[in-house]
């Protein structure tokens, strides 16, 4: 039985719309729980991977939550579940965080943005903003209270959870995350080894980690809300600043989303250039990973090696794009400028040089016995957990989950090149490290195949000065340096998006960090965090 | 300043760049002139000079990076740009050991009190460099509900480095400007004075300790 028939049989009131790439199902909030359980458990459906979870403010119609689901068994099974919560005064909805663990943090995000309360969620605190914050910023009628709160945050370990009493009325209950007498240590937000401003509170049993509570929001810049008041051409500039080590790929995702929505055809030249640029960016990011990863483990020399070689790529990128970090290269309808005349030559020089560098890394670090002892078997993440948390990218592939968007849903010219998806089954920090090192080689192979065959053609297609995207909702994803970066766009046909959500690559990673690091030593938390390689502004957005 | 017309007195020397190649020389000259007018003796003593030579050439930054600009700051510390050449190499993880703070990256509402606290924990004399558009005005996120529109609202800033992100060269230049400022200041009885009384200081620290249990 097809997915569509199955759903309409069980839920006659659900509205189903079939799109070329996915099924869109709209239901009311009461049905969610039942539907979610079926989608997750049914053997023929088995939607076990939640790609993205988005909160919505649909004005008169109420609030909403949009779930993007996929089945890891069959990539063709794609579903967009739209749930409406009509009551604006008391927006309640059931949690699905017990089925898909990625919802644990994502539902908190929706609460933080819209004030929607998830019944049954174990921990309904705000995710990004301070607990004293007034109002819910992504509501359409939100007005910010004046002033800047300069008081220090009070440590508060209590949290709230909601349940339904006998009559079905929602009730709340407070409880403490840490028991009294537990030894709790604070790490961050200003800490040299947390890779930016992330904050952990960990409870310790001797040297071992019992529980970890992660705090985000120290670099929450409100990008999604900003986008709602910008034209499409303006929104793309912000994507560079989310995960700045995937700036080209992020921008690729948003441009692709808008182009697809408008039905814009791109020349082959554009696709080739974008693909090569994405791969250069990936190498760049993985080199930086190598540098910082080793530094976190105390190998400072490697830091200099990584940065030394990264500069070579930056030179190439700078020549064409003019930027080193925020490159602003992709635009809607193509790329900003054609590639520099030196580009091909210099990329080839780079490809000839990199193998020596990689060999050096191998000698210095990969084969280093100290590094091995600290990494092998440390930070175990099982395949089921990786899928449940939605931990994509090298982290997911280190846990034996083939989750590469380039293979799953090819874009650019990835379907035309031959490359291997590196997958390992050790599930530990060392596997995650090795995968990135091998991915550099695969990226080099991709570039090698493409660099001599860049076809002639436009580097930029003509678009109107004012871009209006036809009404509807669109989801597009690319494989950024750290996993699936998705863009969910809902348009009402205006000059600016009605809602633009970025599927963060890092949020699922830190959602899983409690599971990964429990029972490990506190010193290994740094190694684990470094091996996940999250970028905090991308988590907080 | 017009080059070659009348040779003005060079106030400070930085080895790598001639005085006239610096921008904002007028700012330094203005500062000195004002101090003169107010009757402050700016001709630094020999001991001051010796101390300032040491201070100016070994400014240690606090590792502080919240976002994109921080990556460029890391590049400045790495092999190619190598800020060690200017005595700036020892990035400290503890505010107690740092001379200045490079605020590299966006400062959000939630981070603002943390940044202020870090600044308060640094020992005098201390300096602040604001790196990038975000720290100057909020940059691309100026209209956001959760971004501080310029860190000069919460800290006294010594040098602004514009850019998004500023190039590493720009950061080096900014840090040299700070060196010039440091070299001009009198250490005794001036910048080294305590801002708060000992008692108040102790109280502040106590508050900090309890807030971060
Ligand atoms: S100024 Fe630009 S590069 Fe620097 S932190 Fe802000 S957005 Fe990032």
Closest Cα to atom 5 of ligand 1: B105
Same domain, A266 and A405: yes
Mean pLDDT of chain A: 86
- pTM here? 0.86
Is the confidence at residue A264, as pLDDT, over 80? yes
Of the candidates B112, B113, B145, which has its C-beta nearest A144's C-beta?
A: B145
Closest alpha carbon to A95 in A171, A157, A29: A29
- Report, as an integer, the average pLDDT of A94-110: 89
Same domain, B108 and B16: no
Q: How far is A292 from chain B (nearest CA, A)?
A: 10
Please answer yes or no on whether B146 and A223 come within 8 Å at the CB atom. no
Residue of A nearest to B82 (CA): A304
A362 DSSP assignment = I
Pick from B103, B133, B136 the residue to mutate for probing ligand 1's pocket: most ligand atoms within 8 Å of its CB.
B133
Q: How far is the CA of A431 from the centre of ligand 1 (A)?
A: 33
Same domain, B66 and B96: yes
- Rounded Cα distance between A274 and B43, Å, is 59
pLDDT digit string (tens) for A371-382? 888 888 888 888
CA dihedral A94, A99, A101, A105 (to 10 degrees): -10
Same domain, B100 and B151: yes
Residue A369 C-alpha from the chain's centroid: 33
What pLDDT sits at residue B3?
Answer: 44
Q: CB of A278 within 8 A of CB of A249?
A: yes
Q: How far is the CA of B162 from the centre of ligand 1 (A)?
A: 10
The CATH number given to whatever domain includes residue A56 is: 3.30.460.80
Residue A62 in domain: yes
What is the share, in percent, of chain B residues with pLDDT greater than 70?
76
Same domain, A256 and A378: yes
Query: Does the C-beta of A326 come closer than 6 Å to ligand 1?
Result: yes
Residue of A nearest to B148 (CA): A148
Please tell me the total count of domains within chain A.
Answer: 2
Same domain, A228 and A134: no
Is the confidence at residue B13, as pLDDT, over 80? no
Mean pLDDT of chain B: 77
- Rounded Cα distance between B25 and B2, Å, is 11
- Rounded Cα distance between A142 and A145, Å, is 9
Closest Cα to atom 3 of ligand 1: B165
Q: How far is the CA of B149 from the centre of ligand 1 (A)?
A: 13
Same domain, B163 and B69: yes
Domain extent, residue B123, equals 61-170
pLDDT digit string (tens) for B131-186? 988 899 888 888 888 888 888 888 888 889 998 889 888 988 888 888 887 777 66
Same domain, B164 and B184: no
- Report, as an integer, the average pLDDT of A70-80: 84
The CATH number given to whatever domain includes residue A385 is: 1.10.645.10
Is the confidence at residue A93, as pLDDT, over 50? yes
Residue A202 in domain: no
Q: How far is the CA of A318 from the centre of ligand 1 (A)?
A: 17
Residue B90 in domain: yes
- Rounded Cα distance between B106 and B70, Å, is 10
Q: How far is the CA of A325 from the centre of ligand 1 (A)?
A: 10
Q: How far is B42 from chain A (nearest CA, A)?
A: 36
The CATH number given to whatever domain includes residue B119 is: 3.40.50.12280
Same domain, A228 and A103: no
Residue B94 in domain: yes
SS3 A284: helix
Phi/psi region, residue A21 (left: phi>0; alpha: psi -120 to 50; beta: rest), is: alpha
Which of A254-263, A381-390, A465-474, B11-20 has the least mean pLDDT?
A: B11-20
Residue B175 in domain: no
Closest Cα to atom 8 of ligand 1: B68
Same domain, A114 and A251: no
Same domain, B25 and B48: yes
Can you tell me which atom of ligand 1 is nearest the CA of B141? Answer: 7
Confidence of residue B188 (pLDDT cuts 50, 70, 90): low
Of the candidates B64, B79, B116, which has its C-beta nearest A304's C-beta?
A: B79
- Rounded Cα distance between A56 and A31, Å, is 18
Same domain, B95 and B156: yes
Same domain, A25 and A135: yes
Q: What is the ipTM of this complex?
A: 0.84
- Rounded Cα distance between B67 and A219, Å, is 8
Residue A206 in domain: no
Q: Report how far apart, in Å, the C-alpha atoms of A65 and of each of A91, A124, A449, A475 are.
A: 11, 16, 42, 14
Query: Does the C-beta of B133 come closer than 6 Å to ligand 1?
Result: yes
Please tell me the total count of domains within chain B.
Answer: 2
Q: CB of B136 within 8 A of CB of B162?
A: yes
Contacts of A241 in chain B (CB under 8 A): 67-68, 140
Residue A438 in domain: yes
SS3 A210: strand
Chain B residues with at least one Cβ partner in A under 8 Å: 63-68, 70-72, 74-75, 78-80, 93, 105-106, 108-114, 116-118, 140-141, 143-148, 153-154, 164-165, 167, 207-208, 211-213
What does DSSP say about strands A23-28 and A78-85: parallel, antiparallel, or unpaired?
A: parallel
Phi/psi of residue A7, nearest 5 degrees: -65, -45
Same domain, B102 and B35: no
Closest alpha carbon to B61 in B169, B174, B156, B152: B174
Of the candidates B110, B117, B118, which has its C-beta nearest A220's C-beta?
A: B110
Q: What residues have CB less than 8 Å from A230, skipping those under 6 apart?
A: A238, A496
- Rounded Cα distance between A440 and A444, Å, is 6
Domain extent, residue A339, equals 223-505
Same domain, B120 and B50: no
pLDDT digit string (tens) for B72-116? 888 888 888 888 887 776 777 778 888 888 888 889 988 888 888
pLDDT digit string (tens) for A309-348? 889 899 998 888 888 888 888 888 888 888 888 888 889 8
Same domain, B187 and B93: no
Confidence of residue B203 (pLDDT cuts 50, 70, 90): confident
Q: Which of A29-43, A74-88, A433-447, B77-91 has the highest mean pLDDT?
A: A433-447
Same domain, B135 and B185: no
Same domain, B23 and B113: no
Buried b (16+ CB within 10 A) or exposed e, B93-104: eebeebbbbbbb
Residue B50 in domain: yes
């Amino acid at each position: 039985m097809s997915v569509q028939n199955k759903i309409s049989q069980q839920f006659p009131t659900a509205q189903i719309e079939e799109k070329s790439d996915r099924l869109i199902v709209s239901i009311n909030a009461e049905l969610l729980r039942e539907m979610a359980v079926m989608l997750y458990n049914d053997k023929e459906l088995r939607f076990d991977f939640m790609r993205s979870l988005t909160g919505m403010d649909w004005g008169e119609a109420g609030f909403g939550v949009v779930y993007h689901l996929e089945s890891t068994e069959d990539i063709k099974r794609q579903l967009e579940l739209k749930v409406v919560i009509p009551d604006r005064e008391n927006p309640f909805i059931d949690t699905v965080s017990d089925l898909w663990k990625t919802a644990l943090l994502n539902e908190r995000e929706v609460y933080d943005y819209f004030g929607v309360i998830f019944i049954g969620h174990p921990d309904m605190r705000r995710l990004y903003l301070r607990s004293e914050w007034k109002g819910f910023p992504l509501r359409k009628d939100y007005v910010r209270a004046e002033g800047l709160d300069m008081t220090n945050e009070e440590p508060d370990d209590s949290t709230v959870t909601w349940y339904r009493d006998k009559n079905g009325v929602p009730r709340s209950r407070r409880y403490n995350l840490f028991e009294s007498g537990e030894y709790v240590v604070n790490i961050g937000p200003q800490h040299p080894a947390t890779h930016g401003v992330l904050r952990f509170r960990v409870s310790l049993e001797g040297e071992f980690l019992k529980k970890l509570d992660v705090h985000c929001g120290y670099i929450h810049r409100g990008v999604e809300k900003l986008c709602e008041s910008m034209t499409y051409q303006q929104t793309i500039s912000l994507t560079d600043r989310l995960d700045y080590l995937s700036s080209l790929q992020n921008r690729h995702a948003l441009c692709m989303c808008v182009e697809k929505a408008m039905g814009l055809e791109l020349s082959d030249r554009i696709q080739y250039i974008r693909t090569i640029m994405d791969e250069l960016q990936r190498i760049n990011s993985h080199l930086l990973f190598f540098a910082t990863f080793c530094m976190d483990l105390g190998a400072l020399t490697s830091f200099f090696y990584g940065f030394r070689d990264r500069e070579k790529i930056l030179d190439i990128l700078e020549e064409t794009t003019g930027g080193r970090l925020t490159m602003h290269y992709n635009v809607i309808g193509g790329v900003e400028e054609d590639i520099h005349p030196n580009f091909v030559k210099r990329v080839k020089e780079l490809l000839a040089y990199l193998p020596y560098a990689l060999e050096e890394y191998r000698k210095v670090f990969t084969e280093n016995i100290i590094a091995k002892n600290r990494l092998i078997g440390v930070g175990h993440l099982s395949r089921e957990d990786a899928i449940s948390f939605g931990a994509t990218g090298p982290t997911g592939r280190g846990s034996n989950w083939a989750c590469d968007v380039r293979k799953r849903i090819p874009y650019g010219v990835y379907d035309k090149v031959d490359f291997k998806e590196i997958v390992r089954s050790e599930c530990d920090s060392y596997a995650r490290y090795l995968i990135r090192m091998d991915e550099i080689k695969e990226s080099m192979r991709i570039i090698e195949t493409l660099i001599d065959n860049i076809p002639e053609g436009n580097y930029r297609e003509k678009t109107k000065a004012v871009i209006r995207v036809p009404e509807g909702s669109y989801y597009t994803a690319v494989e950024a340096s750290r996993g699936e970066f998705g863009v969910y766009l809902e348009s009402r046909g205006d000059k600016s998006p009605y809602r633009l959500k970025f599927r963060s690559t890092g949020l699922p990673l830190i959602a899983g960090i409690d599971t990964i690091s429990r029972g490990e030593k506190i010193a290994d938390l740094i190694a684990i965090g470094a091996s996940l390689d999250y970028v905090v502004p991308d988590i907080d957005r | 300043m017009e080059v070659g017309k009348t040779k003005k007195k060079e106030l400070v020397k930085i080895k790598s760049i001639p005085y006239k190649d610096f921008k904002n020389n007028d700012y330094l000259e203005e500062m000195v002139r004002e101090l003169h007018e107010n009757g402050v003796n700016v001709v630094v003593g020999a001991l001051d000079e010796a101390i300032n030579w040491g201070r100016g050439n070994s400014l240690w930054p606090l590792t502080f990076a919240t976002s994109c600009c921080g990556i460029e700051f890391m590049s400045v510390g790495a092999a190619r740009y190598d800020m060690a050449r200017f005595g700036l190499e020892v990035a400290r993880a503890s505010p107690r050991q740092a001379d200045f703070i490079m605020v590299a990256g966006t400062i959000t509402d939630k981070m603002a009190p943390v940044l202020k606290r870090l600044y308060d924990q640094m020992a005098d004399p201390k300096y602040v460099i604001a790196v990038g558009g975000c720290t100057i005005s909020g940059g691309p996120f100026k209209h956001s509900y959760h971004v501080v529109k310029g860190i000069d609202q919460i800290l006294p800033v010594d040098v602004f480095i514009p850019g998004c992100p500023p190039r590493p060269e720009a950061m080096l230049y900014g840090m040299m400007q700070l060196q010039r400022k440091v070299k001009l200041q009198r250490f005794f009885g001036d910048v080294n004075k305590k801002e708060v009384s000992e008692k108040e200081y102790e109280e502040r620290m106590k508050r900090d300790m309890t807030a971060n249990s």
